[in-house]
Structure 1
Amino acid sequence: MKTNKIIYAIIGAVCLVSTSCNDYLNILPTGKKIPTSYSDFEALLRDESGVHSVPVRQASMLLNDFFVSASTLSFERLSEVNYNWKESDNRIVFNNADESTYYQGYASISTCNLLIEYAPNMTDATELQKNQLVATSKVIRALNYYTLANYYAATYDVGTAETLKSVPLIESANIEAPHKQVTIQELYDFMISDIEQALPTLSNQGLTVLHPGKGAAHTLLARIYLQMENYPKALEHAQKALAIKNELYDWNAYYESEKARLENPTLYTRKLTPLNHNYVETYYFRHGTSPNFPSSETSVRVDRAARFETRDSKFASRWKLRTVGNDTYYYSMMTGYYNTHGLTTAEAYLIEAECLARTNKVSDAMNVLNKVRKTRILPDAYQDLSASTIVDAVKLIQRTKQNEFIQSIVPFADLRRLNKDPQYATTLTKTENGAQLSLSPSSHLWIMPFPQGAIENPGNGTIEQNVNK
């Protein structure tokens, strides 16, 4: 779904094309055209690179959710520290090389702010159209803040949320407006308020997959409440989302249709991905690898691939083992655009499953989990999973969820949440160049440092680092 671009030099757009984004809060939103009509404003939400793409590369790097060559790590110092869990190195010094999460996140927020502030006065639009455009922008803005909060700040904890700092809360498109680095609690309250204000106006499905509707809004609320460990509210919204749309894609059928290509050990021909804008599970589409042109997915480490279930058709459809020179990894078998960072029915199901388990409905939780697995695990290997305890059920659900949303913010946010509880806390381990490495659940590396440019040029406000190094 590539769209015709209208040139607006708004804050975020300038950041994405300029050689330096350090002054992102000091750039006036002037341009070749001032949006006035409904078509002008609505076109802003079809800017897929500026609005619907916020990468989380360093989070995936920390989880080792993809393969990175030694040659790449040799010149990407920040990536090398996160990938090899070098706790003694100061990432703040190196964080002027991968600032895209921060600046693309706030670029998308700036577009949403522009719409929320000025769309009510647009021409050639009904009141419903105006209100729905504002509501859509509020959901997208909330999702951006969720990503930023779970990247640059500590995970939500009821004991510390009212005191620990989160990220700058910017609500205005006016670059002269003051902003504040709010607490974690304040930001979560803001996200929930944004979505709750939007819900009454949204249609069940948005105008396009780039326009989140009620299904997307409920799924995002479920994600937020799950992070807050408010399981009844997360369950309520996951089930509301599934009442609107509950389809699952049959990855087993896809694998069978491509079996000859996928099981040929010497054939690496790529095919268009089903994870595109038309993916049947989509409530809201948000780009993965690249919003600008069709591309392959990032390769996966061999030890990370081992954590997928045997005969996982979704994994086997996307990646195949390959050796190139001294490197062995799972190579992408698809090309196109990927709904890696969006909101889907699969996420709503897996949130529902965990919340059912957490409220001691273990059997019901496993039924939901198995409903998803039946579309992912090939019939010759499939067996229903069962659990006798809440802890066992949550671990099984998380295994599927970590794999389902690999290379998105979801696994990173979930592990940070689970690491607070000794029953679920995970120490990551690996062997790298003959050395045994590990990452503890309490490591400071689970919080990404703000980019140097943001600290040095905070605009009309202040920003404090949330991590020492």
Structure 2
Amino acid sequence: MKNIYKKLACLLALGLTLASCEDYLNDVPKGAKSPTTLADYEAFLRDEYNTRIDVLGANQLLNDQYVLLTTLTSNRLYNALYLWDENADRIALKVSDESTYYTTYGGISAFNLIIENALNSTNATEEEKRVVWAEAKIMRAMNYFYVTNFYADTYVASTAATKLSVPLITSANINAPSKQITIQEMYDFILNDIKEALPYLLKVSQTPLHPNLGTAYAFYARVYLQMNNYTEALKYADLALAENNKLFDWVAFYEANKAIIDVPGSYTTAVSPMGFNYTENYVFRHGSTRNLGREPNIPVERAQRFETGDVRFKSRWKIRTVTNDTYYYSILSGMYNFGGITTTEVYLIKAECLARDNKISEALAILNTVRKTRILPASYQDISTTDKTTAMNAILRTKNNELVQTLTPFADARRLNAEGVYKVSFTKTANGNTYTLSSDSHLWTMPFPQGAVLNPGNGTITQNVAK
């Protein structure tokens, strides 16, 4: 998993379209290696730089990540997102490069390189080549899903064919053209990548960074849920859980580590179980470099939305005051699967699909299966209701807490707001002021960074929001 081809991957990334780069790629530097064998191309999948997914802006908008008071004063973009400033011109404030955009497209470029060349590489069987090709297809589709659900409006069937998404690039060539396609075209492209990859994926991954058959099924379920296609989402959730249905026992983890977790004033405790070998992983993917070693802190108001007795929360954050800032401080160390897919997400996709089909008792059985591994026995009670709205709210609350600081709560909120039944909005009071994020706010779609719009490579980019 070493960062073997980081330099080459960066050179291939979107936006680095200088003519000197083309010369650089044509002439292999002395002592460097040009990929030719399948192992050379497969190394891009082991490169953890290519697996990073940064969703900082979404975390700030949801207040899933605490922003220091001094940072709010000095960084106007962070202030606009965190305090829900409808009047702020976020486009004007995005004057520097943004890792959400460039990291995601950098990964896409690396995956394009594999897709273009793996089948013609050397020192491997045809079957081995096809596996790597298929893994790159899944990874590319995941990156496009992330960048689309960050910068474009959410999928709505009636408007998806007319609204623009993000630039589509299918070649790693430095001069490859790009086209900003519609949301429908992008979802069709993503689904087709999964479909083409599916027959060649292994049941067991070579490493946690490599997507397997369960990853593809789980990702299918995620995509179809975002498209409000609950029949297909349920179908693929079941197929994914047939590949892996394990849940990590956070209650047992807390009991084994509570002697250090509960020490007053101690903010360094256990090692994160959410790393490469997390039993719930279908595939592991990092968040941003900010997440390496420890998780971001979360606001006090956000911490209050966790259930009483939630030891997954208790094992990860502890309240702390530093000068004028009070927040829940991250206390684990290690790795965190912020960008991949886990069984918990798929269980909760299944629960939502069942609830929408009015199979409330079945949905809650799935939900409670997850909750029992998270809530202390002294605090635990089954959620039991025949009311669809109550069941849906319980499922969505658990999912938001389980996937906090990933893109999924942001994508779910946009999906739910567009649907109009289970709308998501927030209100908070800070420094004597009341702030509101309405369900129909334009803030739910992130603007492209200025660097991407002004230097779009061989294409054009139209902003998806006015400010």
| TM-score over 0.5 (shorter chain) | yes
Mapped partners of 1:294, 1:173: distance in 2: 28
Q: What is the 5 A alignment of 1:143-158?
A: 143-158=142-157
User: Which stretch of structure 1 is more off in the superposition, 223-232 or 413-422?
Assistant: 413-422
What does 1:121-140 correspond to in 2, within 5 Å? 121-140=120-139
SS in 2 for 1:189: helix
RMSD between aligned residues: 1.6
Match of 2:111 in 1: 112
**Aligned twin of 2:423:** 425
Partners of 2:55 and 2:375 in 1: CA distance: 28
Structure-2 residue corresponding to 1:218? 217
Unaligned runs of 5+ in 1: 16-20
Which residue in 1 is equivalent to 2:351? 353
The one-letter code of the counterpart of 1:446 is: W
- Residue matched to 2:178: 179
Can you list the C-alpha shifts for 1:161-200, whole angstroms capped at 9, x where unaligned? 0000000011111232322100000000000000011011
Identify the range of structure 1 (267-276 vs 118-127) with the bigger mean alpha-carbon deviation: 267-276
Q: Deviations over 1:82-113 (max 9, x none)?
A: 11111111000111335100000100000000
Structure 1 position 23, deviation (Å): 3.7
SS in structure 2 at match of 1:247: coil
Runs (5+) with no aligned partner, structure 2: none
CA distance in structure 2 between the aligned counterparts of 1:246 and 1:217, rounded to whole angstroms: 14
Deviations 1:266-314 (A, max 9, x none): 22223211011010000100113538x9521111100000000001010
Q: Which residue of 2 aligns with 1:331?
A: 329
Deviations 1:373-403 (A, max 9, x none): 0000111100110232322211110000000
In structure 1, C-alpha distance between the alignment counterparts of 2:269 and 2:11, rounded to whole Å: 32
Local SS of the residue matching 1:299: coil
Equivalent residue, structure 1, for 2:169 = 170
Q: List aligned pairs for 1:12-161, cutoff 5 A.
A: 12-13=10-11, 22-24=15-17, 27-28=21-22, 30=25, 31=28, 32-49=32-49, 51-97=50-96, 99-161=98-160
Give the equivalent residue in structure 1 for 2:437: 439
3-state SS of 2:200 partner:
coil
Among candidates 453, 457, 461, match of residue 463 of structure 1: 461
Matches of 1:326 and 1:105 in 2, distance apart?
35
Measure, in 2, the Cα distance between the counterparts of 1:185 and 1:375: 38
Q: Structure 1 residues 335, 289: CA separation in 2 closer, same or farther (over 3 Å shift)?
A: farther
TM-score (norm 2): 0.95
Map Cα deviations across residues 127-147 of structure 1 (whole Å, 9 max, x no partner).
111001010001000110111
Alignment of 1:309-328 (within 5 A): 309-328=307-326
Q: How many residues align?
A: 460
2:12, 2:174 within 8 Å by CA — same for their partners in 1?
no
Moved beyond 4 Å, runs of 4+: 24-27
d(CA) in 2 for partners of 1:6 and 1:180?
Answer: 27
Looking at structure 2, the residues matched to 13 and 378 of structure 1 have their Cα atoms a distance apart, in angstroms, of 49
- Partner of 1:390 in structure 2? 388
Q: 1:387 to 1:420 in 2, by over 3 A?
A: farther
Indicate conservation of the 8 Å contact 2:12/2:172, yes or no: no
Letter of the 1:227 counterpart: Q
The answer to whether the 8 Å contact 1:85/1:445 transfers is: yes
Tell me the SS of whatever aligns to 1:419: helix
CA distance in 1, matches of 2:117, 2:293: 35
C-alpha distance 362-90 of structure 1, shift in aligned 2 (>3 A): same
Amino acid at match of 1:91: R
User: CA deviation digits over 1:38-77, x for unaligned, max 9?
Assistant: 221111111101x110200000000000111111122222
Q: Distance in 2 between matches of 1:223 and 1:41?
A: 27
Distance 2:406 2:264 in 1: 28
CA contact (8 A) 2:355 2:392 kept: yes
Question: Share of identical aligned residues, percent?
Answer: 51
